[in-house]
Structure 1
């Protein structure tokens, strides 16, 4: 028992001495690796500050600045860590770390591909700036003002006051209508007049009525084009430009145009006809209905005569 205990103590002592010798031999490399890592941390901080300024020239969004600067910061520190491991002659550990990082990155890419697509789209939108906060846009069937643009989603406030979150991938990859990119906006209003009306007179009355609207774009002509022979009317579209692109102003101007045209046509004797539907009934069905009606009338007449005769008999 004593022999086994002393033998174990000797083995442990030998191991500790070997580790101490190895540590002593690696101590200079270890110190150099630590100094390299500290140096790279300092360099990473300096590069992060510089990248903040450089990215600020392309985008004023704090989220984008933070993303790029922190990504560069982490990349520089990882580079310093790999160089430190190389100094310590831990090449196998470096290879294992790189292989593990690659596998983890590939797995995360497949697992979170939608999130990655939204992040990349958010970065692209930050640089290209197709939309800005406060602008009135239409995207993916929603119309509203842009409230926030994050890396993952774009938040808009719809015209009825609802907050809508749209993934950046859908915003970036689909068409966007930006109503406030330009200061003016056109209204296209469809109207119809009767076939018997004077088209020249109807055109003049409509243009004069629209020209009375407040907020028309100066230098833009009001235009009217007859488009088709409809089922109950001759249809046209009248176009006029507004000096503002806001949705509320657009709705008010269009509403005023409808009221002005309706009033002008009522005073000028121009008809805005109701839709007319013509029902084509086969002659055989008409004859059958007529015969059925005649038979019913005859039966009702006979019944009335019998009832009258019965009343006379009772009276006698």
Structure 2
């Protein structure tokens, strides 16, 4: 019985000697946890002001909170005299990180790429982008993937690593785009007159910028026709008609200009959209001919 009492007294005295360090450690841990919450909220409010960081503000908030909390736990364990436990936690965390890194390499690669894309954002929501063979409008941006909606209404979730690794084309970063299309006109029609007609038709179309000016160049001397390429500039930030509608307006305007001038133009060119001449087309226009098949942007 006496031995038991002495053991209890010894344990109590050891606890009293350890109590200050325990108290200091708990106070420090509490301070770090409160600071982590406050700094996390403050960080989220700062990120919320930036369009580039707003999408991933919750993830960034958690990263800041967890980092400060983890630092507080390690310091508290050191003050309490558990430095060995703190070192073991660090070593174990490193081993676990390596194992998980090999096991989930692709997932980790996507998250890491998404983290870098957060700060070097090459696109924003509603931007028209192209990556690989995929072209569409950005609908949402997450760390692991980017949601892109194609023109045919298909929703595609592209891994962040693919966007980070491959070339990315952003067609709407500054709003300026230069579409073009080709049209073949017969040799007996003077090139100077053809170029003037096509340039005037393109420049007079609503939505086409006056500066830089639309221009036309001779592309190829084909077997039966001279192929002309029409270039013009659009500003999608101010174009109410939209990109596709304005391109279509320019093609129709050029078709009318050539038709009204009685020129013979061909459909034997490489493009994307067919604009066929009507059976009652005016004299001088080949009934089997058509305007260029659209613009290859």
Shorter-chain TM-score bucket reads 0.7 to 0.9
Q: Within 2, Cα distance between the matches of 1:25 and 1:110? A: 45
Q: TM-score, normalised by structure 2?
A: 0.75
Structure 1 gaps, min length 5 = 1-8, 277-316
Structure 2 gaps, min length 5 = 270-297
Q: Within 2, Cα distance between the matches of 1:175 and 1:167? A: 14
Alignment of structure 1 residues 34-183 onto 2, 5 Å: 34-56=26-48, 58=50, 61-183=53-175
Q: TM-score, normalised by structure 1?
A: 0.71
- Secondary structure at 1:165's aligned position in 2? strand
Note the C-alpha offset of 1:49: 3.5
Note the C-alpha offset of 1:174: 2.7
The verdict on how the C-alpha distance between 1:225 and 1:68 changes in structure 2, with shifts beyond 3 A counting, is same
Larger relative contact order (Cα-Cα within 8 Å, sequence gap ≥ 6): 2
Q: C-alpha root-mean-square deviation of aligned residues, in Å?
A: 3.2
Structure 1 or 2: more helix by fraction = 1
Question: Looking at CA atoms only, which structure, 1 or 2, has the larger radius of gyration?
Answer: 1
Note the C-alpha offset of 1:99: 0.8
The answer as to whether partners of 2:184 and 2:268 remain within 8 angstroms in 1 is no
Q: Within 1, Cα distance between the matches of 2:268 and 2:171? A: 33
Tell me which residue corresponds to 1:27. 19
Q: Within 1, Cα distance between the matches of 2:194 and 2:205? A: 18
Count of aligned positions:
268
Q: Within 1, Cα distance between the matches of 2:144 and 2:191? A: 54
The answer as to whether partners of 1:59 and 1:126 remain within 8 angstroms in 2 is no
The verdict on how the C-alpha distance between 1:73 and 1:219 changes in structure 2, with shifts beyond 3 A counting, is closer
Note the C-alpha offset of 1:222: 2.5
The answer as to whether partners of 1:206 and 1:264 remain within 8 angstroms in 2 is yes
- The answer to whether 1:271 aligns with 2:287 is no
